[in-house]
Amino acid sequence: MRLNKILIVLITAVILATTGCLFKPEKKTATEEDFTAAVEEMGLKVVNDTETYSDSVGITTSLYGITDDRSESYEFYVFRSTEDAGVQFDSLHIQIGDTDAKDKVETNISGTNYSLYKAEVDDLYYHVCWVENTLFFGSSVKEKKSDIVEFAKKLRYD
């Protein structure tokens, strides 16, 4: 009887794992207010530079915060559509991934409504997360990587 219960649990776990039910979580989309609050909490000024983008890239909102020494940069975009955000995610992923480097470590993670790309390229760290029609892009020198990671956690884009 106990063996039957164990087998049923194992079979259920295998079915869920092979259909992707256990490994495809969903992320909640961050808002402009979430990003602004997180940047201001760090003592940085939020800049809205939406006007600098043409309609051709599909950006409806572009916000960023950057440290005075430019060692850390935080960017948040809202696009007209999920497809537009995906195109920008792919572009950043390719651009960073194609960088010639002596030392490069890359991580790719995907769920039902998001993709995450993290890369350490020589002395730089990049964190790009696409959730539905939004995109977070953080970059820093490697020594400040933990700041970018913590910031992404606040947005739930980790």
46: in domain: yes
CA proximity to 61, closest of 37, 85, 44, 83: 85
4: in domain: no
Higher-scoring residue by pLDDT: 33, 12 = 33
The residue behind tokens 């790009």 is 128
The three state secondary structure string of 97-144 is HCCCCCCEEEEEEECCCEEEEEEEECCEEEEEEEECCEEEEEEEEHHH
For residue 78, give the H/E element and its range.
strand 72-79
At 109 the pLDDT is 92
Q: What is the pTM of this model?
A: 0.82
Alpha-carbon distance of 119 to 75, in angstroms, equals 16
Backbone angles phi, psi at 83, to 5 degrees: -65, -40
Residue 152 has pLDDT above 70, yes or no: yes
5: in domain: no
Higher-scoring residue by pLDDT: 18, 32 = 32
Q: Are 116 and 157 in contact (CB under 8 A)?
A: yes
Higher-scoring residue by pLDDT: 38, 11 = 38
Q: What is the CATH number of the domain that holds 101?
A: 3.40.1000
Alpha-carbon distance of 68 to 45, in angstroms, equals 10
At 34-61, the pLDDT tens digits run 999 999 999 999 999 999 886 668 999 9
Which residues span the domain enclosing 75? 25-155
12: in domain: no
Which 3 state secondary structure label does DSSP give 8? Answer: helix
11: in domain: no
At 78-110, the pLDDT tens digits run 999 999 999 999 999 999 988 877 888 999 999
At 99 the pLDDT is 80
Looking at the structure of the chain, the number of domains it has is 1
Alpha-carbon distance of 87 to 42, in angstroms, equals 29
1: in domain: no
Longest dimension (CA), the chain: 67
19: in domain: no
104: in domain: yes
